[in-house]
């Protein structure tokens, strides 16, 4: 028996009211959006999250579209993305097996960044992720674009590696245990960390950056609701 992946805590950073991301015109709701559940998600919350914030995202996205019209997509960027997506077909059967890369990533994350975490193991995971990234750049796919799981996996592994690296770097930085994160080397809660989120972004040099950021103050009306629930 082993634990299964149940819920992704953390995701695209959005404005809490409008669900707008930092990319103009991109609105996010549901499990892809970060911030609602804090350090652990309570059972059943996801459905209410989807209903409340999905509605908000839809309303604000519609208002944005009305006010701004169509947001232009850079044709060159589009072509580059399409070309990159099709690269696995050029490598065909001589490329790396994408399922094997995905499996090796799952294995490393399960063993080194699982429920009980230590800095030394997570640093090992970062090394493995780096090696897997090189392999992910060589994955191949056979057949054509229709209903092709192998090709989808070949595209997915690059994204999975980004998420795995973000999870690991954030978990290394947070030197405390809280919610779903249990650090064997820092088993207690740290009140100071309780006031912070971790923001992950791509730096100007293209490298991933993880940053400890102070949480915005809780609005008075929400504080009153929390008090009422106590
Ligand atoms: C085992 C398990 C049990 C759970 N139990 C509960 C529970 O009891 N109560 C509760 O509230 N929550 C529960 N959850 C959590 C809940 O199911 C999820 O948080 C919720 O379904 C997330 O909804 P979503 O719309 O944000 O994302 P999803 O339901 O994941 O929807 C995303 C959709 O986007 C599609 N998609 C992805 N990429 C692309 C693309 N490139 N182009 C087009 N489409 C794309 C996917 O196919 C998918 O249909 C459970 C989750 C798991 C895994």
Dist CA 77 CA 82 (whole Å): 9
Residues pairing with 117 in the sheet? 183
pTM recorded for the entire structure: 0.92
CA of 90 to the centre of ligand 1 (A): 32
With the most atoms of ligand 1 within 8 angstroms of its CB, the residue from 5, 7, 148 to mutate is: 7
pLDDT in tens, 47-60: 888 999 999 999 99
Residues pairing with 210 in the sheet? 200
Q: What is the pLDDT of residue 51?
A: 92
What residue spans define the domains of the chain? 1-71, 98-230
Class of domain 98-230 (CATH, top level): mainly alpha
At how many degrees (to 10) do helices 75-91 and 149-173 cross?
Answer: 110
Residues lining ligand 1, CB < 6 A? 6-7, 30-32, 43-47, 50
CA of 44 to the centre of ligand 1 (A): 13
Cα 101 to Cα 121, 164, 174, 219, distances in angstroms: 20, 13, 28, 45
**pLDDT (mean) for 10-18:** 91
**pLDDT (mean) for 159-183:** 96
Q: What is the pLDDT of residue 16?
A: 86
Mean pLDDT of the chain: 93
CA of 34 to the centre of ligand 1 (A): 14
């Amino acid at each position: 028996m082993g634990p299964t992946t149940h819920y992704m805590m953390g995701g695209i950073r959005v404005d809490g009211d409008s669900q707008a991301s930092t990319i103009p015109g991109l609105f996010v709701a549901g499990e892809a959006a970060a911030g609602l559940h804090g350090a652990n998600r309570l059972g059943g919350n996801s459905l209410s999250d989807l209903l409340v914030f999905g509605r908000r995202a839809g309303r604000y996205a519609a208002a944005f579209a009305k006010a701004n019209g169509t947001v232009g997509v850079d044709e060159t960027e589009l072509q580059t993305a399409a070309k990159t997506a099709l690269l696995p077909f050029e490598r065909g059967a001589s490329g790396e097996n994408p399922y094997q890369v995905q499996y090796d990533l799952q294995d490393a994350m399960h063993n080194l960044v699982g429920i009980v975490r230590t800095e030394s193991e997570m640093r090992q995971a970062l090394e493995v992720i780096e090696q897997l990234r090189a392999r992910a750049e060589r994955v191949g796919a056979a057949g054509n674009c229709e209903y092709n799981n192998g090709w989808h996996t070949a595209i997915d592994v690059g994204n999975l590696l980004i998420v795995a690296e973000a999870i690991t770097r954030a978990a290394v930085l947070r030197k405390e245990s809280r919610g779903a994160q249990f650090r064997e080397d820092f088993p207690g809660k740290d009140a100071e960390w309780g006031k912070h989120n971790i923001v992950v972004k791509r730096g100007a040099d293209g490298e991933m950056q993880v940053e400890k950021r102070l949480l915005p103050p809780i609005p008075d009306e929400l504080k009153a609701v929390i008090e009422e629930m106590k």
